[in-house]
Each structure stands twice: as C-alpha cells, then as structure tokens.
Structure 1
Amino acid sequence: MRLNKALPWLPALLVLGGCPGGNTKDPAHLNEITVTCEPNPVIAGQTTKCTAEAKDQYGEKFTGVSGYDWKSSNESVAKVMDKTGNATTSAAGTVTISASATAGNETRQGEVTLTVNQRPPTLHTTNITTSETWRAAENPHVVRGQLVVNGSGEAPTLTLEQGVEVRFDQDAELRISNGAFRALGSQGAPIRMVANQSAPTKGYWRGVVFSTEGSGSELSFVTLSDCGNAAGAGACLAVENKAAPVLRDVTVQNSGTVGVRVADDGSAFGTDSTRLHVSGSTDYAVRMGANQAGTLPTGGSFTGNTPDAVELSGNVSLSQTWPNPGIPYVINSLILIENPPDDSTPENAPGPTLTLSAGTVFRFGANGEMVAGYHLTGDLIVNGTESSPILFSANSDSPKPGQWRGLHLADHATAASRISYATIEYAGAPSSLLATTGNLNVHGSLHPCEVDGPCPNIQNVIVQKGSGYGVYMSNGAKFGPDSTALTLRDNGNYPLSMAAHVVGTIPTGITFSGNTNNAVEISGGGVDITQTWRNLGIPYVLQGNVNVGNTTNPTLTVEAGTELRFAQNTELTIGSFASHPGALIAVGTAEAPIHFIPNTPTPTKGYWRGLHFFQGEGSRLDHVLISHSGAAGRFFGGNLNVYKELGAFVTNSTFSSSASCGVTVSDGSYSGTTAVTTDFSLATYNNTFVNNGVNRQCADAWIP
C-alpha cells in the first residue's frame, strides 16, 4: 500500500534530479546581415540610402555590431560614400552593394542588388534668353540644333553645375553670342560635353563658340569631345569677336577639324587661363591670331593632333611674350611686328616688342616669314638659352634649303632687338616685302642704329642650310656690341653680306664652313669710322668700290693673314676727298701676309682697279700682296696708286700682274695731288715687283 501511494511522485523527482539547470537557450551570436537600399531601382545621378541589419541565430535583431564596412561591386555605376550607407549613382546598370560586420569571432556579409536606370534626358532645343542653370541631378542634358545664349535685354548666363554631362546631337552647337557661359567643374566632378551617340565619332557635333566680347565666360575642369564638325566654326572650341573666355583645366579631344580656334580679331584666351589639353584633332591642335598668341595657356599638353602644332597668322601690334607650348608654332604667311598702320602714329613712335620663350620651335611654310619694324617701329627678342635654344626651320619632314622666306629685322627695328641661342635654317626664298634671300636679314637705314635702325646683338646663333645668304645685312645694318659666337654653315651663297663701314662689327667667335661662297661679301660703300677688319679665316669679297675717309679721319686696320678679294672693276680708295681723309694700316707678316687680289679662279691682268691713296696720312702697308689690278677707271692704273706724298709707307710687299705698273705715283700735275718722290722700288724698302705690264713704278701713268 505504501509503495503504490509513492509512485505518482517518481517522474517529478527524476526530472528534478536529472536537469538541475532548468529549461535555458544558447547565447545569441551574429548569424546574418540583411541589406536593403531605398529607392531601388534608382535613376542614374540620384542617391540611394542603403541600410544593413544584423540578426542572431534565432532570427532576432543582433545589437552587438558597432558598424558596417560597405562595398560596391562596380563604383562606376554606384559608389557608397560613407559608413551610413549613402550611395551615389552615375551610370545605368546593376551593382551589388554589400555590408560586412564582425562581432566576437563571427564575421558576416550581406548584400543587395541595386538597379540603376538611365535617367530620361533633359532636352535643350531653344535659345537661352534668360539666365539658367543646368544641374547634375538632371543628367544627361541633350542639346538638339544650334543653341544660342543671347538675351535681348540683360545678357543671360548659362551655368553648368559640377558633374554635369551634356550630350550633343549631330551638328548641334552651343554659341555664346550675347551673354556668358560658366561651366565650373572640379577634379572630382568634371563637366563633360560629348557626342550623343553610343560609339562617338570625330566631328559629330559642331562645338562651343564664344562670340561675346570680353571675358565673362569661364570653364574649369571641362572636357569637350568628338566635336569640330566642319559646318561649324572650324573647331571644337572657337573664340571670336573679341571674346576672351578663361579656360582652366579644359580638355578638347577628337575634333573633326582644329582643336581650339582663336580668331585674329582681338579674341584671346582670358587672363589666368592655364592647363589646356588638346588631343586627337584632325587638324592643328590650336589655330590663333599672332597678336594674341601671348595668351596661349601654359602647363597643358598636346598629343595626337594632325599636326601637333599651333598655327599662327596675322600681325603683332601688342608687346607680348609667346610661351613655349611644347609643340611647334607653324607660320604659313607673313607675320609683321610693328605699330598698326595709322596716319596719326609718328614713324619713330615706340612700337611693340615680341619676345620668344626659350625652347620654342617655329616651323615656316613656303610663304612664311617674320618681319619686325617694316613700316613703323617693332622689335623682336629671341630669348633662347644654352639648354633651351629656339629653332626657326621649314615646316617639312624632309626640309630643303629655300623652303621659307626668312627672319627680317627691318629698318624700323631698334637696338632693342636681339637673338640669343637660336638656330635659323632652310630659308632663302625671297621676302614678300624686302626681296632679300637670307636666313637672317637685317635691314638698316643708313643712320646709327642707336638713333634709327637695327643693330641687334646676335649671341650663340647658328645660321645654316639656307638657299641664299646666311646673314644678309643691308643699308648699314650692323651687329650689336655684345654679339658673339655666330656659326654660319652650309648656306647656298655667302654666309655673311654687309656694307663696308660696318664690317668691324663682325662678332668674335664667328665660324664659317661648307658655304657655297665661303667668304664675307662686302657690298661696297664708305668706311667712315675707325675699325679693324679681322682675319676670319676666310676671304672678304668686295663687290663694289670702297673708300676709307670722313671728316673724322678714320683708320681702317686689316689684320695679318687677311685676304681681300675684289670684284671686276672695283677699287679701294683712301681719303679720296680733300675734306675726308683716312688711313689704311695693313701690316702682315712673312708668315701671314695680307692679300689684295681678284675674286676669280682664273685671274687676268687688269681685273680690278687697285688701291688708291689720296688724303692717306698715317697709312702703312707691310707684307702685303697686290695683284692683277690696273683696270681702266677714273684714277691711275697701278696695283698701288699714290696721289700725295706719304713717305715710305710701303715695305716688304709684292706687286704682281698689273695691267700697267706695279706702283703708280703722281707727279703733282693733277688737281688735288702732289708730287710723290718716294721710290718704292728701291731695295731699302724690300718690295717685290713681278710680271707687271709696264714697269715697277711709274710716275703719273694715267689710263683714260
């Protein structure tokens, strides 16, 4: 009986004895993460808010997560911007947005597929007559037709926000006619102006045209691509009608014509423009007027254009410096540097100075030339350096001599003009204004350069491979006093041509080689200032008569070893006018005599007219050779002709092959002469007479 009554309690006792802790669950841990984004789908350009929720193994919210690490599988479609899950979208597509977290030893990741749909385009089809702003949230913007910013009242401003994308239909254009265009992107959110086609082609749309005078327009971090349709303004980006937009970090690519065109009408790049990048153009990278080339932005790049060059045209009437863009300037026509023609401008009024930056390359077409100071004042400064010289050459992959018209400093250029560290080559075609054929041409005005005329300092300059002269100096043009280190080589005529009275300015350090006529050509004229004709290692060729004399009684000194060659029927006179005395000092040595000889490989007696001394006190000839003169003329017919007693001023010299006498002296019977009693044939003077036509010395041997 007692046992039966105890049995109903046994199960309870067994349970209590076997489960001392009671009915408990395992601790919660991180088991999964779920991710959602709202809105989803989303329009490209909009933002979406993505959230993550952590759950434990029981499906309950897990609170042990301090934060999430967010990732996008394709950031070109959508990018999570911060720890809170805010995502920006930029292109149509699908992307996986994931969030991961760690709690204890457990790391879990959740993800969601975000669909980004293309936003319906914002169409622009009508002209802009009042100010408006195109926003990135309304991307893409599509332009159809030719849109003009042009207000009838207050000039409107079209503003583009950072990150705006504008797509242009075929043949579309944006023209700023009376207003402003401000597209201020940033490095992180640039502005794109592109073709409205899936596979863009060059020249699909016309481009952007600035045609409002002034610089109210501004572009920063803007890319224009696949524009430059030939039906437009001839470039992806065109500036005309005195417009001057400010361009900073602007990229122009894949133009069907020129990349950037700046018209020669006062249009320019605005102040502070910088870092212009042009690539892939079918034509020149930049085409602009020479008078505004100083505004060309620096710090940019030019690649893959056909050609990679800046084409310049027009004249320069403003003082400026042309920067070195890293690609050549191409000049296909005359560029004239001077005051603009104006009847009210005095001829000697200060004019513009064009300065060329170190390292710049200039390539000239067949009609290309650069002239400073032709009608009115203008100067050219070629500012190369030893490490960055400036090059003037032909615009050809296989250049030949005579392919362009040369560099010219005309008679209204001043002493301010100079050329340093430069190479000038392949010119020689006649100038359209001056008809000269040098690589470098300096045109004087018969006045001292300090008063009126050029005397440029030429320093460390190479002049080579011209079809004509290397350096041609006319009308008394001369080298400046600081000129030095001039190299003249491989030119098709004389390397240097100049008037007699400026030969003494030939710079030190000058070298000559490979020229067709390897001599210095002297055009003739008067030596009216004291000077020295140095021994240059090549002859001087006198193409006209030369007289040494002036009221200041100048002395011409000829260095030992020098050779003077005379054209047919030319002469050298000393003090030929009573009021214009002069002196010639030609003192050679036995090893280095001075030669006065004919300029012909086959000399004949009487080829030229010899040396003539009138008012020549102070002259001296020693160790000289005078040969093959005696041609008929207005004076005596000897190799040496003395009209007034000068004493024994000739020694150790040779007189040969005269058509008449070796030496002819006056007997005093002619007006302006005196009897010359010195007998230069005496042994005491050690002179030599060889193969002369009449005698060693004759008195008054006049050849009518």
Structure 2
Amino acid sequence: MTMSRQEIQIFPVPCILLVQVLWKRQKNCERGTRMKLGVLRFTLTALFWIAVFVVPAGAALAAGEIQRPVAVKVNGNMLDVEAQLIDGRTMVPLRAIFERLSATLEWDPNTRSITATKGTVVIHLQIDNIEAKIGDRASTLDVPPLLVNGSTYVPLRFVSEALGANVDFDSTTNTAIVTTDNSCNLPGGQVHNGTIKPGGETWSVCGSPHFVKDDFYVEGKDSPNLVIEAGAVVRFENGAGILVGLNAPGGLVVEGTEKDPVTFSADTAGAQPGFWKGIHFYGQTVKGRASIDFAHIEYAGGSNGAVTVTAGTSPVELTVRDTLFKNNAYAGIQLMENTRLSPQSKNLTITGTKTSPDGGGAPIVTAAYGTNGLPDGDYKENELNVVLIAAAMSSTTINTNTTWNKLSIPYQAKITVYVDGPSSPVLTIAPGTETIWEKLSGLTVGSYDRGGLIAKGTKERPITFTSQLERPGSWDGIGAGPYVGKDFKLEYVHVKDAVNGITLPEDLGPILTNSTIENSKEYGIYIKSSNVATDYLAGNTFRSNAKDIYTQ
C-alpha cells in the first residue's frame, strides 16, 4: 500500500527506546519458559515494525509541524472551526473559509486539486503542492495545502487575499482577522426553510452561504418576492428546493452579475446530479417576477429539471440570462404545459446533464408550447445533446405562433406535435434547423382546428426532418389536416425515414419546392384526393421510397 507524505508519520523516538530496553532484557534473561520468550519476541517484533513503518493520518501532523490552534474571525464573526498554525503559517479548513468568503468550491479526487471561484476570480490549489494559480497567474506558497486529521487545510492569507479580503493577526487573542469590503453584520450560514416572510426577503453576500433545508416556499397573500443579490451563495440539503407561486402568488428575482454571479449548489462535498430538488416556478408566479441573471446552478434536478416552470391554463414566462447549468439531473431547464422562456433569455450554458429514473438527460426538456424562441447556447457534453420535446400525454399542441430557432443542437420529439387552434397558429422553422422524431411521433398541422407551417430552408442550410432510429417508417411524417390554411410552405426541406413523408388532405398547390423526400416506408407524398393537378415531383427529389406519390 502506498501512502502520501501527509498520510504517514515515523513512529516517535520513545517507542524505539522501549524496543531497545526490551531487547536487553531478553538477552539477560536466563530463566523463564519458552512461552515467555516467545511472547517477548513477538512484542519486540511488533514494536520494531511499528517503529520502522507508518501509521494512519488520524494521528499525523501532515507535511508541516502544528504549533498551536488559531481562532479565525471573518467580518466580525468567528468561524465555528479552528485554524492551525503550521510552520508559522495560519492554515484553515478550506470549506469553512471558502464558504464564508462566498466562493464556490470544486474538488478533483483524482488529482487532489481544489478550484475556488468567486466572480471572475478562479484559484487553483493542489494538496502538498506549493505551486498555485490565480487565474492564469502562477504563485508560490510558503506552505502547501495539507491534509490534517482527515481535513484539508489551506493557507488563510493567500486564499483570503486572492478573494479580495484583508488578513491581520491579533497576537493577544491568537486570532486571525479577515475583513472584506462589505459592511456585513450578519453571520454566514443563514438558514432558510418553511415560507418566505410577509413582505419578501433579500438574500445577499452578507449572510452567505445561505442554507436551504427542506422546501422553501415563496408565496403569500401580499405576493412576496425573494430577491437574491449578486455574489450570494445558496446551498441546499438533499431533496430541498425553492418553490415559487405554488399555493399563492410569489416571485423570484436572481440578480447576479458577470463579476459576482449567484451560486446555487449542494450542501455537501462530492455531490451527484439530482442531490437537491431545484428551483420550481408554478402557475401563481407573479408576472415579471421570474428571472435569473448570471447564476451558476449545479447538482439539482431529478424528477424535474434544475429549473422547472409549470402552469395550468395561465401562461408563465421565465427570463434566464447569462447562466451556467452544470451537472444536473433530468434537465437544466424544463418547461411544462403553457410555459416559455421570454424573448429576453440569452447566453445559456448547459452541460453535464444526466438522465434520472424519470428520463430526461437533455439540456432543455419542454412541452411543444415552450419550444418558441429558445435561445442558442453552449449545450455540450450532456447525455442527450438535444432539445427534448416531451409531455405527460402522447401529444401536445402549439396553439400560438411559434418559432423554432436554429440551435447548435437538434430538436428531438418524443410525442406528436399538433399545430392548430382558434387563433390560427403558425409554426415557423428557421433555416438550418434539424429535427429528430421518435417512433409513433410526427408533425401534424390543422388537424382539429386552423393551423399553418412555414419551413423555408436554403440550399446551404436546409431544414431536416428525420428519425431517431434512422430506418424507413420509424416516424409518422409531416401531416396536413382538413383545417390547414394557406400558410403551409416547405422549401429546401429534407424529409427522411417516415411512414409517409408528407400527407395532404387534397391538392394544396405548389407547397413543396427544392426539397428531398427519401426512405419513406409507404409513400413520399400521400394525397387523400384523386383530383390532383400539381406536379409535386417537379423541382423536388424523391429517393428510395416504396412509392413516391399516392393519390386516392
């Protein structure tokens, strides 16, 4: 077994002296039984090997010599853990100081390295290594980060000053005094559970990290708002979450900035995706009071997304800007029923999303209504790099004008998407958009009420409709119903692997141009009429269909 330097220590000298004494007694022993000699030899052997080899770190001093414990006061409040004076330097348990200074923390067990982030400041440290980095700038420490009695200790002055704090030492009280520029008079570690106070609450850097235990309800007769200010850190116990507007009106506004984002994370080291429930907005969310700006959201989700919006008949819009979603379960953002992201939403990064027992695994999971105007972003390294269109039922309806923007990832539909309603909604699909359809799903326009579809690609950026299984007949295709309007145009589209590529109720005229239909299990185009005058083959490409065109 190999142990690192901080995990072992040479057995103290007094033990070696004891071995020598026992050895002399054995040599001078002229009487006694063989059994006594055997016991003595066993004892000598055991003590010898203990003296030569090592013992676990529970009794070790790590790499340096602990001289005495030190108290630490941050902005007037004592830490609830002691620091240690090691080799003349004050070393403090890393989590205690990082949280009190509102920094987020990541631990890599493989490299035994620590990354602390506060706003735009990023610090890199490694156990037993005096080389550190602040951003891209290298720095050499007097004492490296150490493991002491199973806890990781870091140099207080370096970490504090790197995070913008000042450090002084009061030799009279043996206390390290850390001060920041704010005038906070609240102790860190404010705890929140139950229901928001009447009149609302503000969570800020003062009092960070904020701890949420169980569910925290933002609602009340006076429509209270929870405001979370720039730089605040909010940590959640297992299964806890923030619920907005569930039983009564309420609002949540997250006011992070580029320099000082708001952090939402798990209250544990080594958390896994889905550790905490997430942030949920419900149907009584106050209009205009649902926004998240410059936030980092990690280790949330599970049965729903890290941020979930759900509503009944009353539409709810959420604004999310300049926000990072990392290592969440099910989805980064989930939009259910009549909910959407607002047009002001932008600059999303969603990565590391994992599937949960309820499925998901995509950066965005949404009902059809929520597909409108989704902002492009950095949607890499999720288990499914798609916008997943799903619903509790087998179909979902777009009943207002909706645009599918060209994104860096495809849209993937698990359900049949219907476009119809009293307002004659039109689905517009931007050039270059890729759509993927699962088995028994399809796109149906004007089937039960009026509706339209405008899918106009370009030669360089066609719009694709294809299947998840990539074989003929593995999705239902594009269908126009009896109530389809004049807004039904397909240009530079590629329809592949459907049962019927396009189904029309009658001859709709030249609605298809410069397009390709291939690998249809039955028909490239199926027209439910025998009175057909339009030559749909002209100007289009048909390949490997069982039959290119069928008319009744």
Tell me if both proteins adopt one fold, taking TM over 0.5 as the criterion: yes
Equivalent residue for 2:310? Answer: 443
Give the letter aligned to residue 592 of structure 1: R
Paired residues in the alignment total 368
State the partner residue of 1:545: 416
Is 1:487 the counterpart of 2:359 in the alignment? no
Measured in 1, the distance between the counterparts of 2:486 and 2:301 equals 43
- 1:576-609 Cα deviation digits (max 9, x unpaired): 13xx222211111222211111123xx2221111
- 2:371 pairs with 1:503: yes
The match for 1:334 among 215, 218, 236 is 215
CA displacement at 1:403 relative to structure 2: 1.4
**1:521 has 2:399 as partner:** no
* 3-state SS in 1 of match to 2:372: helix
Secondary structure in structure 2 of the residue aligned to 1:355: strand
Distance 1:423 1:223 in 2: 27
For residue 661 of structure 1, the aligned residue among 496, 519, 523 is 523
Aligned to 2:137: none
- Decide which of 421, 438, 458 is 1:567's aligned counterpart: 438
Matching residue of 2:184: 299
Distance 1:223 1:299, change over 3 A: closer
Match of 1:311 among 159, 179, 191: 191
Are positions 1:387 and 2:259 aligned together?
yes
Q: Is the 8 A contact 2:219 2:247 kept in 1?
A: yes
Letter in 2 for 1:607: S
Q: TM-score, normalization: structure 1? A: 0.49
Question: Quick one: structure 1 residues 358 and 572, their matched pair in 2 at CA, closer, same or farther if it must change by over 3 Å?
Answer: same
1:406 Cα shift? 0.8
2:495 matched to which residue of 1? 626
Q: Deviations over 1:639-670 (max 9, x none)?
A: 111113321110111111111011111216xx
Structure-2 change in CA distance of 1:624 and 1:649 (3 Å):
same
Aligned residue for 2:133? none
429, 441, 444: which is aligned to 1:558?
429
Shift of 1:225: 12
CA displacement, residues 296-334 of structure 1 (integer Å, 9 cap, x when unaligned) = x962375xxxxx623322221421212322631122311
* Contact 1:666-1:676 within 8 A present in 2 as well: no
Candidates 665, 669, 678, aligned match of 2:534: 678
CA drift at 1:541: 0.8
- Contact 2:203–2:210 (CA under 8 A) maintained in structure 1: no
- Whole-Å separation in 1 of the counterparts to 2:373 and 2:459: 27
What are the equivalent positions in structure 2 for 1:366-377 lying under 5 Å apart?
366-377=238-249
| Residue from 401, 409, 427 that aligns with 2:281 | 409
- Mapping for residues 451-462 of structure 1, pairs under 5 Å: 454-462=316-324
Residues 320-349 of structure 1: CA distance to partner in whole angstroms, max 9, x if unpaired? 21232263112231111112xxxxxxxxx6
Partners of 2:438 and 2:460 lie apart in 1 by 26
Matching residue of 1:469:
331
* Structure 1 residue 688, shift from structure 2 partner: 1.4
Assess, with a 3 A threshold, how the Cα gap between structure 1 residues 301 and 410 changes in structure 2: closer, same or farther: closer
The residue aligned with 1:583 is: 452
Q: Paired residue for 2:40?
A: none
Aligned to 1:608: 475
Residue type of the alignment partner of 1:649: I
2 CA distance for matches of 1:421 and 1:486?
10
Conserved? CA contact 2:204–2:231, under 8 Å: no
User: Partners of 1:535 and 1:224 in 2: how far apart?
Assistant: 53
Distance 1:352 1:223, change over 3 A: closer
**Aligned 1:12-51 pairs, distance under 5 A:** none
Correspondence for 2:229: 357
Change (3 A) 1:445 1:317: farther
Report the CA distance shift for 1:225/1:552 in structure 2 as closer, same or farther (over 3 A).
closer
CA distance in 2, matches of 1:680, 1:557: 22
User: Using the alignment, how far apart are the partners of 1:225 and 1:554 within structure 2?
Assistant: 59
* Alignment-derived partner of residue 22 in structure 2: none
Alignment match, 1:690: 543
Structure 2 runs not aligned, ≥5 long: 1-70, 81-172, 174-181, 355-360
CA deviations 1:26-53 (Å, max 9, x no partner) are xxxxxxxxxxxxxxxxxxxxxxxxxxxx
> How far 1:505 sits from its partner (Å)?
3.2
Structure 2 residue identity aligned to 1:494: A
Residues 283, 314 of structure 2: 8 Å contact kept:
no
Cα shift at 1:538: 0.9
Instruction: Deviation per CA, 1:620-642: give whole Å up to 9, x if none.
Output: 11111111111xxxxxxx21111
Shift of 1:613: 1.3
* Separation in structure 1 between the aligned mates of residue 189 and residue 79 of structure 2, nearest angstrom: 19
**Cα contact 1:642–1:676 (8 A) shared by 2:** no
Asked whether the equivalents of residues 446 and 477 of structure 1 are also in contact (C-alpha less than 8 Å), the reply is no
DSSP 3-state at the match of 1:619: strand
1:176-224 Cα distance to aligned partner (Å, 9 max, x none)? xxxxxxxxxxxxxxxxxxxxxxxxxx9xxxxxxxxxxxxxxxxxxx999
Q: State whether residues 298 and 323 of structure 1, in contact with CA within 8 Å, keep that contact through their aligned partners in structure 2.
A: no
Following the alignment from structure 2 to structure 1, what is the Cα–Cα distance between the partners of residues 274 and 77? 41
Q: Secondary structure at the match of 1:396?
A: coil
Residue 293 of structure 2 aligns to a residue whose secondary structure is: strand
Mapped contact 2:339–2:369 kept (Cα < 8 A): no
Q: Secondary structure of the equivalent of 1:417?
A: strand
Say which of 649, 670, 688 aligns to 2:511: 649
Mapped contact 1:444–1:473 kept (Cα < 8 A): no
Q: Deviations over 1:5-30 (max 9, x none)?
A: xxxxxxxxxxxxxxxxxxxxxxxxxx
Q: 1:505 & 1:414 partners in 2: Cα distance? A: 22
- Structure 2 residue aligned with 1:17: none
Does the alignment pair 1:699 with 2:544?
no
Secondary structure of 2:486's match?
A: coil
Kept in 2: contact 1:689–1:696 (CA 8 A): yes
Give the secondary structure class of the aligned counterpart of 1:678: coil
C-alpha distance in structure 1 between counterparts of 2:281 and 2:465, whole Å: 33
Contact 1:643 1:676 in 2 (8 A): no
Q: Structure 2 length as normaliser, TM-score?
A: 0.62
| Contact 2:340 2:369 survives alignment (8 Å) | no
Q: For 2:536, give the aligned amino acid.
A: F
The 8 Å contact of residues 476 and 498 in structure 1, kept in 2 or not, is answered as no
The separation in 2 between residues aligned to 1:560 and 1:480, in whole angstroms, is 22
2:322–2:348 contact (8 Å) kept in structure 1: yes
Letter in 2 for 1:429: G
What percent identity do the matched residue pairs reach? Answer: 28
Give distance in 1, aligned partners of 2:219 and 2:368: 29
CA gap 1:362/1:699 in 2 versus in 1, 3 angstroms: same
Q: Distance in 2 between matches of 1:676 and 1:373?
A: 54
2:550 partner amino acid = C
Among candidates 303, 323, 338, match of residue 204 of structure 2: 323
Q: Which amino acid is 1:422 matched to?
A: A
Q: 1:676 to 1:568 in 2, by over 3 A?
A: same
Residue aligning to 1:428: 301
What is the CA-CA distance between 1:371 and the residue it aligns to?
0.7
- Offset at residue 408 of structure 1 (A): 0.8
**Greater strand content:** 2
Structure with more of its chain in helix, by fraction:
2
- Per-residue displacement from partner, 1:512-547 (whole Å, max 9, x unpaired)? 111111010112522222232111021101111112
**What is the Cα-based RMSD across aligned positions, in Å?**
2.8
State the AA in 2 paired with 1:687: N
What does residue 68 of structure 2 align with?
Answer: none
* More RCO (CA 8 Å, sep 6+): 2
Q: Aligned in 2, Cα 1:698/1:363: closer, same or farther, shift over 3 Å? A: same
